[in-house]
Amino acid sequence: MNDPVIRLDDLTYTYPDGRRALESINLSIAKGESVAIAGANGAGKSTLLMHLNGIIHGTNGAVKVCGIPVVAANLKTIRARVGVVFQNPDDQLFCPEVFDDVAFGPINMGLPEGEIKKRVGESLAAVGLSGYEKRSSHHLSLGEKKRIALASVLSMQPEVLALDEPSSNLDPAAKWGLIQLLKSLDVTKIVVSHDLELIEALCPRLVIMSKGKILADGETCGIMKNRELLVAGGLAAPG
């Protein structure tokens, strides 16, 4: 049997101040899956996401991507395979023009100029923003910024797309446009969110976290019918 594209074995992470953010997390994600990770604020969702390409490293346990351990010696390879899109696009967009933001990853991969231009054009087309190369990222709408941030990751041609609260602060039209865009992408997707509409529309599998542990892991449609579980995971109000 082939290794899953993402595998976490007994992953534990403790903050320097002693707070336990993740405790003995075991999780496997197959190639092509779209998986939501949900839970209340402080459940450990974003902390887990940041382990997938070595932004932070566990106190104990192991993380593997395509069978490759996520350790310092492998980070260049890992980060070419796992693209992380942050919740706030302003944390990801820092160049004067859109072209430079989208080209940043391919340039650092050492790709030739022609391939860089090709990837920028293809990535902007994929997010519906062809022709934005000379625009300033910082003068765009929030929805456009989120798409440019996504394009800046897609230009790396990752095998896994990890998104942190992709629908946060978007109006309904922009959110549904983003959902359709993400559904069209043929990559493994791991989506941290508490947006139940997005989760139902995008992710057939749902993992609920609570206090650094996995509370539930199964088909989204089944978990969504379990109100007690949603309440326990901070995804529905009690009563």
Q: What is the DSSP string of 1-21?
A: -PPPSEEEEEEEEE-TTS-EE
- The string of pLDDT tens digits covering residues 62-89 is 999 999 999 999 999 999 999 999 999 9
The answer to pTM > 0.85 is yes
Measured between alpha carbons, how far is residue 146 from residues 128, 142, 175 in Å?
12, 6, 10
- 37, 191 contact by CB (below 8 A): yes
Residue 98: alpha-carbon gap to chain centroid: 21
Q: According to the model, what pLDDT value does residue 239 have? A: 62
Taking the chain (239 residues) in runs of 10, the rounded mean pLDDT of each run is 85 92 96 95 92 92 94 93 93 94 94 96 95 93 94 95 93 91 94 93 96 96 93 82
Q: According to the model, what pLDDT value does residue 2 have? A: 61
Neighbours of 141 (CB within 10 A): 11
Domains of the chain in start order, with CATH, are 6-233 (3.40.50.300)
Q: According to the model, what pLDDT value does residue 1 have? A: 45
Q: According to the model, what pLDDT value does residue 88 have? A: 92
| Local structure of residue 130 (DSSP, 8 states) | T
| Local structure of residue 39 (DSSP, 8 states) | -
Write out the DSSP string of 174-223: HHHHHHHHHHH--SEEEEE---HHHHHHH-SEEEEEETTEEEEEEEHHHH
Strands 82-85 and 160-164: parallel
Q: Residue 11: which residues within 8 A CB-CB, separation 6 or more?
A: 22, 24, 25, 26, 27, 48, 51, 58, 60, 61, 62, 63
CA distance 74 to 68: 8
- The string of pLDDT tens digits covering residues 138-160 is 899 999 999 999 999 999 999 99
Q: According to the model, what pLDDT value does residue 42 have? A: 87
Rounded to a whole number of angstroms, the CA Rg of the chain reads 18
Q: According to the model, what pLDDT value does residue 238 have? A: 78
